[in-house]
Chains A and B, each alone.
Chain A
Amino acid sequence: MRLDLFVSHYNYWVVIFLMMVGFYILISRGNLIKKIVGLNVFQTAVFMLYISMGKITGGTPPILVNPKGAGEGHNGAEAGPNGAEAGLGGTEALQEPAAEVVYSNPLPHVLILTAIVVGIATTSLGLALAVRIKEAYGTMEEDEINRIEAETEAAE
Chain B
Amino acid sequence: MSTHLPVLQVVVPLLAAPVCALIRNARAAAVIAVLASWATLAIALSLLGDVMSAGVISYAIGDWVPPIGIEYRVDIVNAWVLVIVSTIASVVAPYMITSVADEVARGRIPLFYAAYLLCLCGLLGITITGDVFNVFVFLEISSLSAYALIAMGTRRRALTAAFRYLIMGSVGATFIVIGIGLLYVMTGSLNMADLAVLLPEVWDSRTVKVAYGFLGVGFCLKLALFPLHLWLPNAYAFAPSAVTAFMASTATKVAVYMLLRFFLTIFGAPFSFGVMALDRVLLPLALVAIVSMSLVAIFQVDVKRLLAYSSVAQIGYMVLGLSFASVTGLTATLLHLFNHALMKGALFMAMGCVVYRIGSVHIDAMAGLGKRMPWTMAAFVLGGLSLVGVPLTVGFVSKWFLILGALERGWWPVAVIVLLASVLALVYVWRVVEAAYFRPYGGDEGGPREAPWRLLVPTWALVGANLYFGISAVRTAQVAERAAEVLMTGVGP
Answer yes or no: A and B touching, Cβ < 8 Å. yes
Give A contacts to B, CB under 8 Å. Answer: 23, 26, 32, 35, 39, 42-43, 46, 49-50, 53, 84-85, 87-88, 91, 107-108, 111, 114-115, 118, 121-122, 125-126, 129-130, 132-133, 136-137, 145, 149, 152, 156
Least Cβ–Cβ distance between B191 and chain A, in angstroms: 10
Main secondary structure of the interface of A (DSSP, over half): helix
Q: Is the CB of B162 within 8 A of A39?
A: no
Report which of B156, B171, B181 forms a contact with A39, defined as CB distance below 8 A.
B171
- Chain B interface residues (CB < 8 Å from chain A): 64, 67-69, 133, 136-137, 140, 144, 147-148, 151, 156-157, 159-160, 162-163, 166-167, 170-171, 173-174, 177-178, 181, 184-185, 188, 190, 362
Query: What 6 A-B pairs come out closest when comparing CB atoms?
Result: A136-B156, A118-B140, A129-B163, A133-B159, A122-B170, A50-B181
Would you give 9 A-B contacts (Cβ < 8 Å), ordered by A?
A43-B174, A84-B69, A107-B184, A108-B184, A118-B137, A118-B140, A129-B147, A129-B166, A156-B362
Contact of B177 among A84, A115, A122, A130 (CB under 8 A): A115
The answer, among B64, B162, B173, for a CB contact under 8 Å with A129, is B162
What residues of chain A lie closer than 8 Å to B64, measured between beta carbons? 84
The answer, among A42, A53, A132, for a CB contact under 8 Å with B159, is A132
Q: Which residues of B contact A125 (CB under 8 A)?
A: 144, 147-148, 166
Asked if A85 meets B163 with Cβ closer than 8 Å, knowing A39-B170, A49-B178, the reply is no
Question: CA A107 – CA B148 in complex, angstroms?
Answer: 30
Q: Within 8 Å CB of B174, what residues of A?
A: 42-43, 46
Contact status A136-B159, CB under 8 Å: yes
The residues of A that contact B163 with a CB separation of less than 8 Å are: 32, 126, 129-130, 133
Bound Cα distance from A90 to B119, whole angstroms: 35
B residues near A114, Cβ cutoff 8 Å: 133, 137
Residue of A42, A50, A122, A152 near B166 (CB, 8 A) is: A122
Given that A39-B171, A133-B160, A156-B362 are known contacts, is A121 also in contact with B140, CB under 8 Å in the complex?
Answer: yes
Q: What is the CB-to-nearest-CB distance from B360 to chain A, in angstroms, rounded to a whole number? A: 9
Q: How far is the CA of A26 from the CA of B171 in the complex (A)?
A: 10
Give the distance to chain A from B108, nearest Cβ to Cβ, in Å: 12
Q: Report the Cα distance A125→B185, complex, angstroms.
A: 31
Task: Please name all residues of chain A whose beta carbon is closer than 8 Å to the beta carbon of B188 when the two chains form the complex.
Answer: 88, 91
- In the assembled complex, which residues on chain B have CB atoms less than 8 Å from the CB atom of A136? 156, 159
- Tell me which of A42, A84, A122, A145 contacts B160 (CB under 8 A): A145
| A26 adjacent to B140 (CB under 8 Å) | no
B67, B148, B177 interface centre (most CB from chain A within 10 Å): B177
Asked whether A49 lies within 8 Å of B144 as measured between CB atoms, the reply is no
Tell me, in angstroms, the Cα distance from A137 to B157 when the chains sit together. Answer: 9
Pairwise interchain contact A129-B151, C-beta atoms closer than 8 A: yes
Partner of B144, one of A43, A91, A121, A130: A121
Closest to A131 in B: B159
Q: How far, in angstroms, from A43 to B174 measured CA to CA in the complex?
A: 7
Q: Determine whether the beta carbon of A35 is less than 8 Å from that of B156.
A: no
Cβ of B362: which chain A residues have Cβ within 8 Å of it? 156
Residues A49 and B160 in contact, CB atoms below 8 Å apart: no
- Complex Cα spacing A53 to B211, Å: 15
A132 to chain B, nearest CB (A): 5
Q: Is the CB of A137 within 8 A of B147?
A: no
Q: In the complex, which residue of chain A has the Cβ closest to the Cβ of B173?
A: A118
| Contact A39 to B177, CB < 8 A, known contacts A84-B64, A125-B144, A137-B156 | no
Residues of A within 8 A of B67 (CB): 88
Q: Which residue of A lies closest to B156 (CB)?
A: A136
Instruction: Specify which chain B residues have a CB less than 8 angstroms from the CB of A26 in the assembled complex.
Output: 167, 171
A149–B237 CA distance with the chains assembled, in angstroms: 14
Collect the chain B residues with CB atoms within 8 Å of residue A129's CB.
Answer: 147, 151, 159, 162-163, 166
Contacts of A156 in B (CB 8 A): 362
Q: Which residue of A lies closest to B188 (CB)?
A: A91
Q: Does B137 lie within 8 Å of A149, measured CB to CB? A: no
Q: Which chain B positions have C-beta within 8 A of A126? A: 163, 166-167, 170
B316 to chain A, nearest CB (A): 26
Interchain CA distance A35-B160 in the complex, whole Å: 13
Q: How far is the CA of A130 from the CA of B159 in the complex (A)?
A: 8
CA distance A47 to B312 in the complex (A): 32
Taking a contact as CB atoms under 8 Å apart, the answer to whether A122 and B144 are in contact is yes
Q: Which residues of A contact B136 (CB under 8 A)?
A: 115, 118
- Measured CA separation A87–B173 after assembly (Å): 25
